[in-house]
Structure 1
């Protein structure tokens, strides 16, 4: 009988995943978990002073669009690590990974009922495209990711459909009656009404945002592919030795950041005060903004790896590792807590708490979840949703509570 020793988890990957999740929850809490445009004037109470505007600026420049990208990058990396681990065991993981994605789709669907900004369903669908790319050479992965990042998907959609929605029946603007109705459901509706809205038009709205001219899905797939490629390079297995590569990524990302800022300002300045997305200049502006987010994402990633090489910063950053190991559970539970805080079926504070306060609330949630994750993993092998996901993936009940295993060993 032969046994295979499981590969040791990469602490830096878990820590980076936890760090990414922290950025995501800050954005979602400050946005009040709306997951859609908000009606004009509906969020005025969230801006009552300079501190609230500073929070807005901080989130726009450093968090929004960046930490979801880091999370997506890590999804592609995790795909490679799972496939590579299975290959070492002499297994073909492709069919099981597909089944794993279907399970994630189910978890994401339930999560989407609470929050229509859910990313799990998007990951589950886009993750299918990773399977045929597993053996595609790195040069083709870079080429395709580059095309996705420079807006080819957006340009094709705009050339065919212009600014028309692909799926959602109404306008996605603050003045839209459908947007006002959705906000009112969140503000005063029952949990059943929120669930129904999210389960019906919510999926259509999300599909438009992902596949229409805003093109979030194209960027997500691009980050998946780069994560797959970096996994092959073994960057995180040997991050101390890859000093020159990380430095080059940082320098090129800074250069792209500067250039993309100039392009973004130039494009939107020429559109005038009333920006509409019915022209090619707006499409170029959106792509420049995407490139700016991509550049900042890799600046953050590079700086994280550089800091992780140093003893004192690593000691602090490693505290995110338990949080990252339970990312699925923490992501879902923070959404339930956040929607309970803001939506009418819960405490009903939607649009009533200043940004500076919701920012502090988000930090509190992060600290609490980090402490709980560390405590939980002392007694359990996995987070609750991670355990369910893993057990269903392999059709077997994995050990869950550590103490039970110890007791059995003693007996």
Structure 2
């Protein structure tokens, strides 16, 4: 396989990363700004139910899955380019864990440290047969999902992403439209069933986002609702991904959603940047703890809009985001040019290589 082919970026993954970031911020802002429980029979109460039916756990699952896909692609390409992919990946995890520790100071619910630990645990599975990896990941997803163990789902989701990479699920997507459509239809059916079951447990009153037990040791109504949501989450996530992939088969949709691609290419910078901008907004408004659910939506829309614009401008000027640059430099332990190569330089380099 030629080096240029090995290093070719898969645009669909950037679109999905950007899409995942849209949902993550809607949930993270609630804890960061200590949003109070809504009053009953209000627009805020309806928005809370919407979040916990269609957003909470759904976009985090996508992000975790993508980490597994990226894990496979990174090591495979590193090995194909003659590097020690395992050492590079371990160094990459150390950087991610360090960034996560810093991020944890401001965002206790952050995911980077969890990804780093789970990445280390799943590293031995890189050489395991793809069918075995798929089976293990699905079994663990079912077990942890039924148990309502949201944090534990991260490991099988990453392993599932690794298996998807082994199956080359995101290669040549234009030739897989029928398979994607079938997958999306199946996930839609399962999602509707799962969401219907979860909806039957919707609390009559607004609730805390914690799974709480009754005095007799049973789950209260909100706890049951949230637990079911954890199990349903990966299924709804799969439907979201399948639907997005189908939409991206259209050039017009690709153009319309192109800001998502830029947003996703700077996923690390934008993920941590979301926390910084949320906290900054909270300080500027000076209403931490007093904001309503709907007001957090407006703040999130403003932050996402700003980040998309900055991402587009930044990537027109530079090859990667600032945190992505730091991550890459420490991983490879060498200086990485930030400015993109000019067409003239690329042509000259190609001619030189052909001459050799």
Which of the five TM-score ranges fits, normalised by the shorter chain? 0.7 to 0.9
Alignment pair present for 1:11 and 2:4: no
2:188 aligned to which of 247, 254, 262: 254
- Aligned twin of 2:178: 244
2:273 aligned to which of 310, 324, 333: 333
Gaps (5+ residues) in structure 2? 349-356
Aligned Cα root-mean-square deviation (Å): 3.2
Q: CA deviation at 1:240?
A: 1.5
Contact kept in structure 1, 2:319 and 2:340, CA below 8 Å: yes
Alignment pair present for 1:27 and 2:19: no
Aligned to 2:9, the other structure's residue is in SS state coil
Q: CA deviation at 1:110?
A: 0.6
Contact kept in structure 2, 1:380 and 1:401, CA below 8 Å: yes
Q: 1:383–1:85: structure 2 CA closer, same or farther, 3 Å change rule?
A: same
Larger mean CA deviation between 397-406 and 55-64 belongs to 397-406
Q: CA deviation at 1:52?
A: 2.1
Alignment pair present for 1:293 and 2:230: no
Note the alpha carbon deviations across 1:61-119, whole angstroms, 9 max, x for none. Answer: 22111111111111001011111111222333112101110111110111111111111
Q: Distance in 2 between matches of 1:379 and 1:301?
A: 29
Contact kept in structure 2, 1:149 and 1:290, CA below 8 Å: no
Q: Distance in 2 between matches of 1:275 and 1:281?
A: 6
Larger mean CA deviation between 279-288 and 362-371 belongs to 279-288
- Aligned twin of 2:155: 221
- Aligned twin of 1:316: 256
Contact kept in structure 2, 1:322 and 1:370, CA below 8 Å: yes
Count of residue correspondences: 336
1:374 aligned to which of 300, 305, 312: 312
Q: 1:381–1:311: structure 2 CA closer, same or farther, 3 Å change rule?
A: closer
Q: Write out aligned runs for 1:70-149 (5 A).
A: 70-149=62-141
Note the alpha carbon deviations across 1:205-257, whole angstroms, 9 max, x for none. Answer: xxxxxxxxx52232111111111111122222211211232223222222322
Q: 1:267–1:147: structure 2 CA closer, same or farther, 3 Å change rule?
A: farther
Larger mean CA deviation between 142-151 and 100-109 belongs to 142-151
Q: CA deviation at 1:4?
A: 3.9
- Aligned twin of 1:43: 36
Contact kept in structure 1, 2:36 and 2:291, CA below 8 Å: no
TM-score by length of 2: 0.84
